[in-house]
Structure 1
């Protein structure tokens, strides 16, 4: 009677173990999803900084992106460990007990890194204007030479963001380069894609982009910083769920191991 009761309890816990492994596998995949979001956000911030480096006053705005990428790497590794643990059977219970602390430690470190990244991203979201304080100077010193890295940065920004000038296309009217250009033309990167050239003459067909590049840059940077800031919200419940499932799974599997020893 006792043996039969033990067998029933063993089967019930085995079923619970299957449910926990499935839950852990799904949680690990959610960690990958959140990690992918963080990786894309961090890469986008770093790429924007790399392309527009002359526009920034320093490197400090890079920190949220670096921390987001570091968190994404930890979540990727934690997801792999979680999937490994989810595939464990009663034969590999000792392996589960070995990888579980690593899984928990990685999630704790990832939580600390992402908390710091979110705090910094929130802080710099209100400092974008000061980070772009040298933008006006860069545009004013535009030489038009394709060999000049400042010129390449200005042209690529105006083409990709479809903007012209700092606050608007009229900013070019007061630059030395504009006054030196014979027909008083705006840079080609300023022109709407439907026009091959654009000038300030009302007698010529012209249509430069209306919106200024500072506003566009602030919108792009503000968006990616917001992603890094608010990505902490979905990360917290996923990590807590992962730790809870792993802890329950370790306890459940230890009981299964004890029953196996008794049967022998």
Structure 2
């Protein structure tokens, strides 16, 4: 294979790892935003740590990809060794992130134990941060109640408000005249919020686990490529001098 061809293949592999790094970073930021917006619906856990590890692994992927492009232009065994070391670090950090993501995906229902309590403490006041979180989630996820909209019938707020309507955030946007009345339940979102939020978090966690496979495949290719590059550099460094 010609030198130009080898350089093209190397750059293509470095672009792959940078692309995977961007994918992992976007997924980590998405998970961080969703968890941050709805943190009060979760018990105290290590979810924040998991998100930080995911974002860190993405940053390392991007740095490693950029370093690889630069190292490929240098005939330095030390720089190539540093690149291999970073690949190992990325592998360890990404494996840790995947393990944490799997742990949270399995225990997510347990971590969402405070969900019902948040709805029970709903006051309907715009000055109450708890109530604002409930309304924001119901509007964003297009859901109503914990399991379904009938959960509101058993809340303290429903009884104090006269038992005539659901929160306005339960109104289906396809019905502009909806005022949350209990006499028009077809204008209310029927799906529960706990299931919808669980789907969002599970999607992000599974995306991180699946992205790990892409990282491992790309890293294997890079390990093989760097090994060949180091062998080539070593063989060209020592040459037999012929007498004229």
From 96, 100, 106, give the equivalent of 2:86.
106
Contact 1:21 1:249 in 2 (8 A): no
Residue of structure 2 equivalent to 1:199: 181
CA distance in 1, matches of 2:78, 2:7: 16
CA distance in 1, matches of 2:126, 2:60: 41
Structure 2 SS opposite 1:167:
coil
Query: What is the Cα deviation at residue 58 of structure 1?
Result: 1.1
Residue of structure 2 equivalent to 1:169: 149
CA distance in 2, matches of 1:206, 1:245: 61
Query: What is the Cα deviation at residue 81 of structure 1?
Result: 0.9
CA distance in 2, matches of 1:64, 1:239: 22
User: RMSD across aligned C-alpha pairs, in angstroms?
Assistant: 2.1
Structure 2 SS opposite 1:152:
helix
Compared CA separation, residues 260 and 192, structure 1 to 2 (3 A): farther
From 148, 154, 172, give the equivalent of 2:134.
154
Residue of structure 2 equivalent to 1:117: 97
Give the TM-score normalised by the residue count of structure 2.
0.91
Residue of structure 1 equivalent to 2:212: 232
Tell me how many residue pairs correspond in the alignment. 241
Residue of structure 2 equivalent to 1:63: 49
Residue 220 (structure 1) aligned with residue 206 (structure 2): no
Residue of structure 1 equivalent to 2:111: 131
Contact 1:118 1:229 in 2 (8 A): yes
Residue segments in structure 2 that go unaligned for 5+ positions in a row: none
Give the TM-score normalised by the residue count of structure 1.
0.85
CA distance in 2, matches of 1:126, 1:258: 55
Compared CA separation, residues 80 and 222, structure 1 to 2 (3 A): same
Structure 2 SS opposite 1:243:
helix
From 66, 70, 81, give the equivalent of 1:80.
66
CA distance in 1, matches of 2:242, 2:84: 30
Residue segments in structure 1 that go unaligned for 5+ positions in a row: 1-11
Residue 33 (structure 1) aligned with residue 15 (structure 2): no
Contact 1:178 1:185 in 2 (8 A): yes
CA distance in 2, matches of 1:63, 1:213: 24
Compared CA separation, residues 262 and 61, structure 1 to 2 (3 A): farther
Residue 53 (structure 1) aligned with residue 34 (structure 2): no
Residue of structure 1 equivalent to 2:166: 186
Compared CA separation, residues 52 and 117, structure 1 to 2 (3 A): same
